Amino acid sequence: MIKQLDKDWLTQGLIDFEYKKYILLAYLQEVRKCFSQIQLYPYLSDLVFHYQNLVDLRQNKQLALDKFPKHLSQTDLENLQFKYSQIVQDDALMEELESIISFALPQFKTLLNEGRDIYEWIETNLEISPVGLTPLRFEEGYLLLSENQVKEMQIYQYQISIFENANEKYRGVHTFFLETVVRNLGQTLENIKIELLRRHKQLPNPATYWINAKVTCPREETLLPIAKRLLVKYIATHT
């Protein structure tokens, strides 16, 4: 796994265009190498974070100032209050930051588009279907993950959590790897589900979904993360 770009890379250390350009291009080169091997995560999520962070910083300079370290300028021992002064002000240093941001944004955007194209290509080559009858309770169950050219199938137990803010409701999914089974001509998905019910009695009537990939790609870095998002999307639209 490549070294991740620090979340505060822009304001951390020396604020110099050439220096930051070197750090950024070295990181993006490694990410592009991973994308060429169809390895999307966690790099695609990182790109989204860094790109949006730069957009936010450009829109609000105060956010940039707040990201700089502060030093203790005065201590009021009587009231236990600390007053801090900013190490930097909005001057030539901020102009240097603007130059770095102007260079970095299109770099992130280009690679982000490449990653999303790969994501969409993988997703269009995934098929999802329920196995057996789907119970009313879908928050936890089993995910069967397979690829056309591979005999082995990975079986996961999944749990869906729902959380919301003031405006939207979100669903997240956590998976726990259970086992790998080798499929044969006489073994059906229903038989696999029945065997899971027999061996794992903590889920007496679980929802079970099968996701099959028509293309081959790295499982941990690409297939599983996209399959999990597809599972959440499918359940959200079918329940």
Domain that holds residue 176: 127-238
**CA atoms of 222 and 44, how far apart (whole Å):** 10
Q: Which one of 105, 123, 141 terminates a domain?
A: 123
Confidence of residue 87 (pLDDT cuts 50, 70, 90): very low
Q: How far is CA 187 from the centre of its chain?
A: 34
- The CA-atom distances, in angstroms, between 52 and each of 8, 64, 104, 112, 120 are 13, 13, 12, 11, 20
pLDDT at 77: 42
**CA atoms of 42 and 233, how far apart (whole Å):** 20
| Number of domains within the chain | 2
**Residue 83 predicted with pLDDT over 70:** no
Does residue 190 share a domain with residue 134? yes
Taking each helix axis from N to C terminus, what angle separates 17-36 and 43-59, rounded to the nearest 10 degrees? 150
Does residue 173 share a domain with residue 145? yes
Query: Is the pLDDT higher at 183 or at 107?
Result: 107
Q: How far apart are the first and last CA of the chain?
A: 37
Does residue 42 share a domain with residue 108? yes
pLDDT at 135: 81
Find out whether 173 and 184 touch, Cβ atoms under 8 Å.
Answer: no
Does residue 142 share a domain with residue 103? no
Average pLDDT value for the chain = 85
| CB neighbourhood size of 94 (10 A) | 15
Which is nearest to 228 in space by CA: 171, 178, 181, 185? 171
**Residue 56 predicted with pLDDT over 50:** yes
Find out whether 19 and 31 touch, Cβ atoms under 8 Å.
Answer: no
Say if 2 falls within a structural domain.
no
Which is nearest to 194 in space by CA: 144, 126, 159? 144
Query: Could you write out the DSSP letters of every residue in 49-79?
Result: HHHHHHHHHHH-HHHHHHTS-EEEEEEETTT
**Residue 57 predicted with pLDDT over 90:** no
SS3 state of residue 171: strand
Rounded to 5 degrees, what angle do the CA atoms 146, 182, 221 make?
35
Look up the pTM and report it: 0.83
Q: What percent of the chain has pLDDT over 90?
A: 56
- The CA-atom distances, in angstroms, between 204 and each of 41, 135, 142, 148, 179 are 33, 11, 12, 30, 18
- What is the H or E stretch that residue 179 is in? strand 169-182
Strand ranges across the sheet with 207-213: 126-130, 207-213, 140-147, 152-164, 169-182
Q: What is the CATH number of the domain that holds 167?
A: 3.40.1530
For 93-121, the pLDDT digits (tens) are: 778 888 999 999 999 999 999 999 999 99
Does residue 172 share a domain with residue 112? no
User: Residues with Cβ < 8 Å from 143, sequence gap 6 or more?
Assistant: 155, 156, 157, 158, 175, 208, 209, 211, 227, 228, 231
Does residue 151 share a domain with residue 84? no
Does residue 85 share a domain with residue 132? no
Does residue 221 share a domain with residue 189? yes
